[in-house]
């Protein structure tokens, strides 16, 4: 190797240096806590899966054009997973019969899609997945939206900063049949055209609908009704509307949700169709209210038939994914992204060679108390070491020197407040912890 190796990651991917990683970790740890507070259990599966898992019911576009595919050394065709739902359905099917239902599960996989390169688009992202199995109750839909709302609130968002759009493929199929003579087995093709509608010129959408054999005006009228809550009862039977979980959760949201979540904006929007084939009825997306981020932050739906594909009894499922890219864009847009935490809390230094043995003992005490503590790796003059710690943003320098050590104490320098005092070693960790906590709650 005479040619130096390139230092950049492959196209469409990101290196997470500690500053970015600290933001990602803080954001997702808040989300884990919310999701777990609803009783969801974390799971994980391998990031390579057989291609058949997706070919069955995922999205033709993704499988044929966007997967990272390989033959392994045993001649199996594997893909880097482009989404998590087929994996979780496979796992639920594997335990069919022994799992107690409902099952509430979540995960945080790394997902890959070979998308065309464009600004703000990546080929890999980290996506939290939240799924609920074993119930056809509309309370499952309500729980999904409650979790989404609490996730956003936990990150500091306000109810006005985002909204959830909900639709129901079963209702839309019925409406397409009633208004545009679309037979049920062609509805998915129509949804496919509608899913791409926002990304292509209007003529292209009309042409595609015409090619499917339908009247574009009639089809489009179904997706652009004024207020669906007013217009749909004119096209669809009351019985059909009442049977729709999406319809019910949207129309009853304000009475039904926990008081802290009633202000969430949850609306019925026929243009939400989602790309995956496996969704059977409810589909939903969460969007930034700011037009700066037009891509959905989270999306999901109900997939009542997916587990059955594994030859196991039908097990209804509903879930959503929320990826790091659009979510962190949202946080930056609204000024609520957490600040990176990359400086140690403390560094322990020796005034002289004779005090060096004490340094490791004191550092061990601080670490034991959860303080992020470094000790010097090379012998440096104290002044230089302090200067360096200060530049790195270290909060405290602890100085072990014979005079104080003889009294069981050290010098504690607060490098942010520039003060210095003697503190007994026994009280050192608690004293530093108090000062750190005080800084954190300060504005």
Residues 72-131 interacting with a copy of itself (rule: CB under 8 A):
72-74, 76, 78, 80, 90-91, 93-95, 100, 102, 104-105, 110, 112, 114, 124
Q: Smallest distance, Å, CB 4 to a copy of itself? A: 3
Around Cβ 443, how many Cβ atoms within 10 Å? 2
Around Cβ 328, how many Cβ atoms within 10 Å? 19
Range in contact with a copy of itself (rule: CB under 8 A) among 49-57, 278-286, 288-296, 325-333: 49-57
Range in contact with a copy of itself (rule: CB under 8 A) among 216-224, 277-285, 369-377, 428-436: 369-377
Contact 228, 265 (CB under 8 A): no
Q: Which one of 221, 243, 374, 390 is in contact with a copy of itself (CB under 8 A)?
A: 374
Which backbone phi and psi does 136 adopt, to 5 degrees? -100, 5
Site string for a copy of itself, 199-238 (x = CB under 8 A): ----------------------------------------
391-430 residues in contact with a copy of itself (CB under 8 A) are: 391-392
Around Cβ 360, how many Cβ atoms within 10 Å? 13
Q: Smallest distance, Å, CB 411 to a copy of itself? A: 20
Which backbone phi and psi does 345 adopt, to 5 degrees? -75, -35
Alpha helices in 212-263 (DSSP H): 216-223, 228-235, 238-243, 245-256
387 lines the binding site for a copy of itself (CB under 8 A): no
238-267 residues in contact with a copy of itself (CB under 8 A) are: 255-261
Between strands 77-80 and 68-71, the pairing is: antiparallel
Beta bridge partners of 320: 130, 300
Q: Which one of 30, 68, 295, 325 is in contact with a copy of itself (CB under 8 A)?
A: 68
Contact 353, 402 (CB under 8 A): no
47 lines the binding site for a copy of itself (CB under 8 A): yes
Residue placing its CB nearer to a copy of itself in the complex, 155 or 180: 155
Between strands 373-374 and 346-350, the pairing is: parallel
258-317 residues in contact with a copy of itself (CB under 8 A) are: 258-261, 309-312
436 lines the binding site for a copy of itself (CB under 8 A): no
Contact 155, 27 (CB under 8 A): yes
């Amino acid at each position: 190797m005479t040619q130096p190796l390139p230092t950049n990651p492959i196209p469409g991917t990101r290196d997470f240096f500690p500053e970015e990683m600290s933001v990602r970790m803080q954001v997702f740890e808040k989300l884990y806590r919310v999701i777990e507070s609803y009783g969801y259990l974390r799971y994980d599966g391998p990031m390579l899966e057989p291609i058949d898992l997706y070919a069955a019911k995922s999205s033709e576009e993704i499988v044929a054009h966007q997967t990272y595919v390989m033959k392994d050394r045993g001649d199996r065709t594997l893909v880097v997973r482009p989404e998590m739902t087929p994996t979780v359905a496979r796992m639920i099917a594997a335990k069919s019969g022994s799992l107690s239902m409902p099952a509430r599960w979540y995960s945080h996989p790394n997902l890959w899609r070979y998308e065309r390169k464009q600004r703000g688009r990546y080929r890999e992202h980290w996506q939290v997945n939240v799924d609920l199995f074993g119930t056809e109750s509309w309370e499952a839909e309500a729980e999904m939206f409650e979790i989404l709302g609490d996730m956003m609130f936990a990150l500091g968002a306000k109810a006005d900063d985002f909204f959830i759009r909900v639709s129901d493929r079963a209702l839309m199929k019925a409406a397409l049949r009633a208004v545009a003579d679309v037979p049920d087995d062609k509805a998915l093709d129509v949804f496919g055209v509608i899913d791409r509608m926002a990304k292509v010129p209007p003529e292209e959408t009309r042409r595609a609908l015409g090619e499917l054999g339908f009247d574009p005006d009639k089809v489009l009228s179904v997706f652009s009704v004024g207020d669906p809550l007013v217009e749909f009862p004119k096209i669809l039977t009351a019985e059909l509307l009442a049977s729709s979980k999406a319809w019910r959760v949207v129309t009853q949201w304000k009475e039904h949700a926990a008081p802290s979540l009633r202000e969430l904006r949850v609306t019925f929007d026929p243009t939400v169709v989602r790309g995956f084939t496996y969704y059977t009825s409810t589909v939903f997306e969460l969007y930034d209210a700011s037009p700066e981020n037009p891509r959905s932050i989270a999306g999901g739906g109900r997939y009542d038939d997916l587990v059955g594909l594994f030859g196991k009894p039908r097990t209804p499922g509903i879930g959503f994914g929320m990826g790091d890219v659009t979510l962190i864009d949202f946080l930056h847009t609204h000024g609520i992204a957490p600040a990176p935490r990359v400086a140690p809390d403390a560094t322990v230094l020796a005034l002289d060679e004779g005090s060096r043995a004490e340094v490791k003992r004191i550092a061990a005490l601080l670490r034991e108390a959860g303080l992020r503590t470094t000790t010097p790796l090379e012998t440096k003059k104290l002044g230089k070491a302090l200067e360096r710690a200060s530049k790195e943003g270290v909060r405290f320098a602890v100085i072990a020197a014979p005079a104080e050590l003889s009294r069981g104490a050290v010098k504690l320098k607060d490098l942010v407040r520039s003060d210095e005092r003697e503190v007994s070693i026994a009280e050192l960790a608690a004293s530093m912890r108090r000062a750190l906590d005080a800084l954190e709650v300060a504005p």
